[in-house]
Amino acid sequence: MGARHTPVVVLTSSNQKDDIERVYGLYGNSYLVKPVKRSALQEIVQSLDQYWIKLNRTVPS
């Protein structure tokens, strides 16, 4: 799989519209705002694993 098929997920503390637009303008695939609580962050990471690793299907190589 080439780099162009690698999903780009941004995890940041910024919820600024300009930052979100910049990420998607640079072909980011997902923009996530990091929560303050560790347990909430763990939930996000588990959800990413569930979606990107287990559920998402890509074009076969």
For the chain, the domains span 3-55
Average pLDDT (17-38) is 94
DSSP-derived 3-state class of residue 14: coil
What is the helix (H) or strand (E) element at residue 24, kind and residue range?
helix 17-25
CATH number of 3-55: 3.40.50.2300
Q: What is the pTM of this model?
A: 0.72
DSSP-derived 3-state class of residue 36: coil
Give residue for tokens 């998402």. Answer: 56
Average pLDDT (17-27) is 96
Spatial CB neighbours of 61, under 8 Å, sequence gap ≥ 6? 1
Average pLDDT (26-46) is 92
